[in-house]
Amino acid sequence: MKVTGLAIVPPPSAADQPTVTPELLASVLARYSRSNDGLAAILGKVDVQNPDASIDRILKFVDYGHASIGGLTGGLAVALDDISMWLAYRIFDIAQMADGQESSTRYIAMDAANVSPAADLGIPDDLAPRWNTMLSRAFAAYHAEFARLDALVAAEPGRLRLPAGATPAVAARLRKNYALDRARYLIPLATRTNLGLVQTSRMWADTVKQLDSLPHPEARAAARLIREELLKQSPRLMRHSVADKSCQEQVRQELETSLAMGRARLSHEALPDKVWVHVDRANPEWLPQLQPVAEALRHRANRYSRQGTATRRMRVAFAWNNMALAELRDLNRHRTGNRHTPFVQAGFYLPPEISRRDHEGLLAEQADITRELLDRGSPAYVYSLLLGAQTPFEHSTHADKFIYEAELRTGMGAHFRYAEHLSAALREFFKQVPEAKKWVVEGTAEPE
């Protein structure tokens, strides 16, 4: 694992503008909010070459509950090389206010060499040989299915919904993606990936604190390395990044719940699709909702357009019983509201183009290793999962954000399984909010 902080410098076009460090920026803007002198006057009192005195005077207020000052540092960028897909998922789960990108499964190495050593992930020594063998089998199965599916769609191009006038290069890319996106359920969650994240010092401190509270050696190593990098840019605010009792206790309780549910529900059979949607349209009697839903939606040019108060005030919670980790990795990144999953394997998804019988031995062995880790109470059970593992997943937010997510995840080029899940949620949503159906653009995930 390697963690790198990226320091942002102004472009040549901004050469005439004041330059500040992240913590000096926070200090100046905090003082700005408590003064009517104007920004130029405040900057005039700061020795930019020796700003520590000014910074220390203001940032001490963070210690007295003024955490919002830590949000004034601007975006601090960090890149994490060679972390597991599980840790990338977990960081996005924690850092709900961050902007970031993770390497796609279409572009990373798929072999046993691209997995951290078992000891670094907390896999018990006596289980490590079986675990390594199972991962090698999974990678081999992935490559075999990719080759088979790629040949299948080459022989039967009608399986692709190619856009009219598609060039040979576009057709080749879509054919490759067809195979990659169906074979990916056999990829181990322990596979290394890369992650880039940008967020304020305040959010980084909370993210590192929570990572430091996890029982996984990989997470704690990441917390230490991120802290070391960000101490170079925001040394005072990163003092608040150490694990505390509250985080540790919540992590302990969540792990106990996951271990118990994992033992009770562990299966490598396919779970039938179930979806749950709850809409809350209640408003206080002294502040009723007067705008019709149609008026909140019909003026939009696309899914990025602003919606009205009728949907922005409407609360929506939606959940699936069988979200494969392959899809969870992305759906977990919708930043609004709260997401929740016990992160267990209650079933195993393979697309209809892949025969379960061909992989029964692998799936049984994978489930046996997961069972052994769960029975031992090991948090490292997550590293025995493959991306086809199905877990319950719930997201609660507001209707405007749900509609955006549904339109995005069923729209042009969306993954086929995203589209199935979000189409099912939309059907339930329309039962409760039928007046929205005319104005919500449900896609068909074409061209693939």
Mean pLDDT of the chain: 90
| Lowest-confidence region among 24-28, 204-208, 294-298, 314-318 | 24-28
Say how far apart CA 190 and CA 426 lie, in whole Å: 33
Q: How many CA atoms lie within 13 A of 314 on its CB side?
A: 26
Nearest Cα residue to 189 out of 288, 329, 80 = 329
Q: Is the pLDDT of residue 17 over 70?
A: yes
Q: How many CA atoms lie within 13 A of 244 on its CB side?
A: 8
Say how far apart CA 261 and CA 156 lie, in whole Å: 42
Say how far apart CA 182 and CA 415 lie, in whole Å: 10
- Give me the DSSP letters along 124-154: -TTTHHHHHHHHHHHHHHHHHHHHHHHHHHH
Say how far apart CA 356 and CA 347 lie, in whole Å: 13
Higher local confidence (pLDDT), 380 or 177: 380
Predicted pLDDT at 57 = 61
Query: Are 317 and 394 contacting, i.e. CB atoms less than 8 angstroms apart?
Result: yes
What long-range pairs does 88-94 form, CB within 8 A, spacing at least 24? 88/193, 88/195, 88/329, 89/189, 89/325, 89/328, 89/329, 89/332, 90/211, 90/214, 90/219, 91/195, 91/197, 91/207, 91/211, 91/222, 92/332, 92/333, 93/332, 93/339, 94/206, 94/207, 94/210, 94/211
Report the run of H or E that residue 279 belongs to, with start and end. strand 275-280
Say how far apart CA 226 and CA 207 lie, in whole Å: 10
Query: Are 277 and 243 contacting, i.e. CB atoms less than 8 angstroms apart?
Result: no
User: What percentage of residues in the chain have a pLDDT greater than 70?
Assistant: 94
Say how far apart CA 234 and CA 222 lie, in whole Å: 17
Q: Is the pLDDT of residue 63 over 60?
A: no
Mean pLDDT (whole number) for 311-323: 98
- If phi > 0 it is left, if psi is from -120 to 50 it is alpha, else beta; for residue 123 that is beta
* Boundaries of every domain in the chain: 2-80+192-243, 253-349+388-439
Cα-Cα-Cα-Cα torsion 108, 113, 117, 118, nearest 10 degrees, comes to 90
Confidence bin at 65 (pLDDT 50/70/90): very low
Q: Which two tokens stand for residue 317?
A: 């919670």
Q: What one-character DSSP code corresponds to residue 277?
A: E
Triad 101, 213, 248: Cα angle to 5°: 135
Residue 271's φ and ψ, nearest 5 degrees, are -95, 130
| Lowest-confidence region among 151-155, 396-400, 435-439 | 151-155
Q: Which two tokens stand for residue 403?
A: 């509609």
Q: Are strands 347-348 and 99-102 parallel, antiparallel or unpaired?
A: unpaired
Query: Are 428 and 316 contacting, i.e. CB atoms less than 8 angstroms apart?
Result: no
Mean pLDDT (whole number) for 8-32: 82
Q: Is the pLDDT of residue 415 over 90?
A: no
Which parts of 67-205 are beta strand (E)? 76-84, 99-102, 192-199
Predicted pLDDT at 70 = 66
Predicted pLDDT at 364 = 98
| Lowest-confidence region among 104-113, 115-124, 346-355 | 104-113
Cis peptide upstream of residue 272 (ω within 30 degrees of 0): no
Predicted pLDDT at 376 = 97
Three-state DSSP class for residue 436: helix
What top-level class would CATH report for the domain 253-349+388-439?
Answer: alpha beta
| Lowest-confidence region among 47-56, 102-111, 313-322, 365-374 | 47-56
**How many residues in the chain?**
448
The yes-or-no answer to whether 2-80+192-243 and 253-349+388-439 have a common fold is yes
Q: Is the pLDDT of residue 182 over 80?
A: yes
Predicted pLDDT at 48 = 64
Nearest Cα residue to 192 out of 265, 118, 108 = 108
Q: Where are the alpha helices (DSSP H) in 33-84?
A: 39-44, 52-59
Confidence bin at 333 (pLDDT 50/70/90): confident
Q: Is the pLDDT of residue 401 over 60?
A: yes
Query: Are 268 and 362 contacting, i.e. CB atoms less than 8 angstroms apart?
Result: no
Predicted pLDDT at 239 = 80
Predicted pLDDT at 62 = 43
* Amino acid type, 327: E
Q: Is the pLDDT of residue 357 over 90?
A: yes
Query: Are 326 and 106 contacting, i.e. CB atoms less than 8 angstroms apart?
Result: no
Predicted pLDDT at 31 = 74
Higher local confidence (pLDDT), 61 or 338: 338
Predicted pLDDT at 358 = 96
CATH number for region 2-80+192-243: 3.30.1360
- Give me the DSSP letters along 308-327: -HHHHS-EEEEEEEEEEHHH
Predicted pLDDT at 60 = 54
Residues 6+ apart with CB under 8 A from 439: 293, 294, 297, 298, 300
Give 191-250 pLDDT, tens digit per residue: 999 999 999 888 999 999 999 999 999 999 999 999 999 998 888 778 878 899 999 999
